[in-house]
Structure 1
Amino acid sequence: MVKFAPLFVPWEHRLQTLAVLQWIVCFLLMGQVCVLVFIGLLFTRFWLFSVLYAAWWYLDRDKPWKGGRPCQVIRDWVAWRYMKDYFPVSLVKTAELDPSRNYLAGIHPHGILATGSFLNLCTESTGFSKLFPGIRPHLMMLTLWFRFPFFRDYIMSGGLVTSDKESAVHILSRKGSGNLLGILVGGARETLNARPGSYKLLLQNRKGFIRIALMHGAALVPVFSFGENDLFDQVENSPGSWLRWIQNWLQGIMGISFPLFHGRGIFQYSFGLLPYRRPITTVVGKPIEVQQVTQPSQEQVDELHRHYMDELCKLFEAHKLKYNVPTDQHLEFC
């Protein structure tokens, strides 16, 4: 039975819902719409606009791999503050980050749409710059999204960069100090495990970010977003099921995952693509000092990887009771 929202709700709540709706629509549809607009303009009297943009696109083609183009005006948009209050989302600091260093932050879990990661690192809605003065945040995103005209410029404005090694190298070495690169370590495949109450992380064999940290002497920062997996329900797709097999097959071919998820609607709470109003608290752990090793051995990578997993577990255990995680729940690595 459909559960409808009350007819009269505070105007503030309506604005919060609208802010989240625009973000969902942009994430799911804006790239495709931009392609249609770019091609469609070529068959109108405004064809020159697409031609000029194509020339700009060619000259600017390497920018997503070279640190992007963050825009403080867009990061400060009031819409992000309304979106933050919808859940709400909060950012917790447990240690200082020295602006004279560069940092590589492993963010867990990915969730369905990485909502907490986006709001914390790509906007100022949770006050990142006030909590960590002198630190410039970037967040990696699948390279596919930077191949859409117009959309690429929009997502770069928030500090998003491609999820390629070249991006990490540029930010951690060629842009000086005070840079923080956020990596959703579990990647697209981890979205298939995102459901309320799940603490299963794809980390056991994810060591590329460890090697990059060693090569550039970047301090590792474990980050855990409590509540990230609680925003949507997902159709049962346990490992070994036919649905998971199809999802893994598509992910292997296209590089993106296709979780069958649902949340609530605009005027009812029973189904839809809007996330549930459930809090997300992102806890930033203490940096792990990393000595630069230009050509790290596999043993060095493995050792630092084990240390990182230990610190992530300690961070989770130290804070889980504050954010309504049962005492018998622990991180599960796969």
Structure 2
Amino acid sequence: MDGQRVTAEAMPHYLPGEPLSLPPRPPMQDVVVQLFSYQDLAEPILVPAVVEPLLVLVLSGAATVEERALDGDWQATNVEAGDFFLTSTSEPYEMRWQVRSDDRFEVMHLYLGLPLIEQAVRDLHGERCAPLTFLDVSGGRDGRVRFLLEQLRLELYGERQPSPLFVHSLAQALAIHLVRTYPAPRNLARGANALQSYKLRRVIEAMKARLAEAFCLPYLAQIAGLSDYHFSRLFKRATGLSPSQYFIRLRMARARQLLLETDLSVIEIGMEVGYSSPGHFSQVFRREVGVTPRAYRQT
């Protein structure tokens, strides 16, 4: 299985979940949707890499999901309805989970065709832009991702005659949002003398969990099991940015999301991403994004 990649349509053969009984639907261009109901899974399964980016939305229930790279440690994430996973890996990985509620643990899998992703990249970055991959997200919360996935599910399985045009439009909107919000650094792929991918993923998740706290290089280096110096050097080789620069980028990505999707004040959003001074937050935001937080909200 090592290195093997499969198509989206083949994935149900590798997963232990029970596919939900649904009315037959004609295939849609560049969009594959699958719905599953899961019980506890104590023994890990090997999940093959897929050609297409995979989004998983938790529809109901709650569970503790554990994942690991083939050479890594288990990483646990508590998820509930509305949380999502984004996977765009070229390597298989292992998973197991434990259901934490009386409700059925049901999820929706969505695979976006590569032509759709490439079209979104060209639209946002031009014809000559290099191919793009996505960050891995485990148990994330994103109002736009949830809304678009739920609309796709309703159209495909709630309508007697789903509209291919409407489905394709929703998938296009989702692809644009993913390209804008979750791009991986250009040289994220594992290479010589760079931080290993499973360690990089662990560090980035730790950064996201502490956006409101001060940047702490020793804490992140400890997670990676390296000295501060070696961690900083390998992290920059893997991402193209220093750990502190990457942390600021994550803060600004979260701030942009809060500005567009919530009614929180600019001061509250600044504090949410670790800036007690509104002036400092506005200064950093303008340097990284190009406009002030207030101007960004009004665009």
Common topology (TM > 0.5):
no
Specify the TM-score bucket, using the shorter chain as the normaliser. under 0.3
- TM-score normalised over the length of structure 2: 0.27
- Give the strand-richer structure, 1 or 2: 2
- TM-score normalised over the length of structure 1: 0.25
